[in-house]
Amino acid sequence: MIKVNLKSGATFKDRWLNPYIHISNSPDFMEIEKKIRAIEKDMGIRMEDGVRIDYIKMDRNILATNLFYLTTIAIIAYMYFRNPKNRNVFNAFGDISKAKFTLVNPFSGKGVRFKDVAGLQEAKVEVMEFVDYLKNPERYKKLGAKVPKGALLLGPPGCGKTLLAKAVATESNVPFLSMNGSEFIEVVGGLGAARVRNLFAEARKRAPSIIYIDEIDAIGKKRSESFAQTANSESDRTLNQLLVEMDGMTTAQDIIILASTNRPDVLDKALLRRGRFDRHIVIDLPTLEERIQIFEYHLHSLALEGKPMQYATYLAHLTPGFSGAEIANVCNEAALHAASEAKVKVYNDDLMYSIDKVLGGTVKKSSTLTPSEKKVVVYHEAGHALAAWLLEHVNPLIKVTVVPRTNKRLGFAQYSDTNLKLQSSEHLFERMCVLLGGRVAENIIFNKISSRAQTDLKKVTEIAYHQVQQFGMSPSIGLISFDKELTSTKTKKPYSKKLAGLMDAEVRRIITEAYKRTEKLLLDNKDKLITLAETLLKQETLTYKDIEALIGPPPFGKKDLTKLEEFNANLE
């Protein structure tokens, strides 16, 4: 077979690289074939037995591309072996796959200890079991017990998950490798999985050891259910590698994995199963007793005018729903305020200032409200306060203020908590009445409404839908419960359009009934509403004691504020 290379200007190098017949790219190549066929005819060779001639056309860019790659490789190799200093550049590509963990020195004697973690009693007991196993493994192995492979710390932000992990690092006396979930993921594909492998390899070298992954939801999100969803392919690969390392064919020995997140609903089910995270430790917002402990711990570092325990109990009643981080911020803001006013000690008014600042922000001195707008805000907040004062099943009112704040809050009412874990339909209904009190007061006094109640209406709508769709508190809808995700607009509804219409109608009925109940309550006590609002307009802030002096004690008793009054009297 003869291949004819149709390439013009064939050089010696061309003939060496492609040993075919090289001819000029012109019509003369047809004459070559005629001569070959004539010779074959003279020699008696039949046409079908003749020499096969194929015509091929060379691409000019093929040789140039190959030469470019060969040249690049040669230059890199020359630089690598010519100067040893350049090898650090190439080693950096290997170092990028290493896990960027923080190694806590187990024998430094410094850091946070369990005694420094106020509250969280149940969580500390569970976590201390891991520490005890690492210190005394033989005691458990004799009984055939196996240490849990991992513990997942769940809870809202600022409740002490990371602080508890720091205490474990100090108390365990074993190597503690800490890493954030976002540090695994990079743009380079496969890098997250490589860092997971490297992290566990480093932990095995130091076994027994503890691995802590903060904000694990960054790599532990639910994997995509179809191959078409490739946006999170890197996260999926990283999660798959983490699952294998935690409980795969070769399980890690003497390695405990701690992780924390405030978004457990987005985590993959394979990550949450027993055998990987055997313990799910919920760290919720602190209760009244836990808030007392947290305040007492932080107040010990302040130069107080009085005993920390006295202030701790008082402040704990004033801060329902505060997290541990917010309580620490309250104490710090009080000290900063006292220092800014050149005080020698921190007083009660500094602590009250700090609570208001954490709740609503810094006081906005340059208020842009007109007198008419100010009056609307005053009556709106007075409507909230009066409804809470007169109703039975709502949290006790502590204070109402209309001082403008920097976070766009023109005023707010502060309530104490009742430490109720379960709420009846009466509690939820009267809570809706309190939220609607501002809108009702505006309508009664001014015969018109404003946009002030937007946030209140959102909360009222949410409570009403929860009663109908999740709590089964609607007689007309029945005992049904749908998860919040199933009722969102992003998913297909698990119920018919007819049932959806019935639920919407029931929600409107509940809200309308709450509005009418609140309207009747405030109309019957219109004189108290006006007295409360006009005094609030002058003083801007009214405490429980001030409100009681204006309109009398609440009709259903002082609830749990008796102790609060006692502490307030002692401070005065």
Task: Report the catalytic residues.
Answer: 381
Q: What angle do CA 530, 403, 313 make, to 5 degrees?
A: 95
Residue 167's CB is within 10 A of a number of other CB atoms, namely: 23
On the CB side of 529, CA atoms within 13 Å amount to 27
102 - beta bridge partners?
Answer: 178
Helix axes 425-446, 454-469, angle to 10 degrees: 150
Whether the bond into 555 is cis, omega within 30 of 0? no
Give dist(CA 245, CA 201) in Å, integer: 10
Backbone angles phi, psi at 209, to 5 degrees: -155, 170
Backbone angles phi, psi at 263, to 5 degrees: -130, 65
Helix axes 526-539, 497-524, angle to 10 degrees: 80
Which secondary structure element, helix H or strand E, spans residue 512, and what is its range? helix 497-524
Token pair belonging to 66: 């190959």
Query: Tokens 């991992």 sit at which residue?
Result: 150
* Cβ-count burial 250-265 (b if 16+ within 10 Å, e if not): eebebbbbbbbbeebe
Q: Smallest Cα–Cα separation from 216: which of 198, 192, 187?
A: 192
The two beta strands, 397-401 and 412-415, are antiparallel
Amino acid at 489: T
Q: Tell which phi-psi region holds residue 91, choosing left (phi > 0), alpha (psi between -120 and 50) or beta.
A: alpha
Give dist(CA 435, CA 361) in Å, integer: 21
What's the Rg (C-alpha) of the chain?
37
Give dist(CA 117, CA 139) in Å, integer: 27
Give dist(CA 503, CA 513) in Å, integer: 15
Backbone angles phi, psi at 358, to 5 degrees: -70, -35
Token pair belonging to 119: 């509250």
Q: Specify whether the CB–CB gap between 149 and 206 falls below 8 A.
A: no
Q: 3 in helix, strand or coil? A: strand
The end-to-end CA distance of the chain, in Å, is 112
Amino acid at 239: L
Which residues fall within 8 angstroms of residue 542, CB to CB, at 6 or more apart? Answer: 385, 399, 400, 401, 532, 535, 536, 550
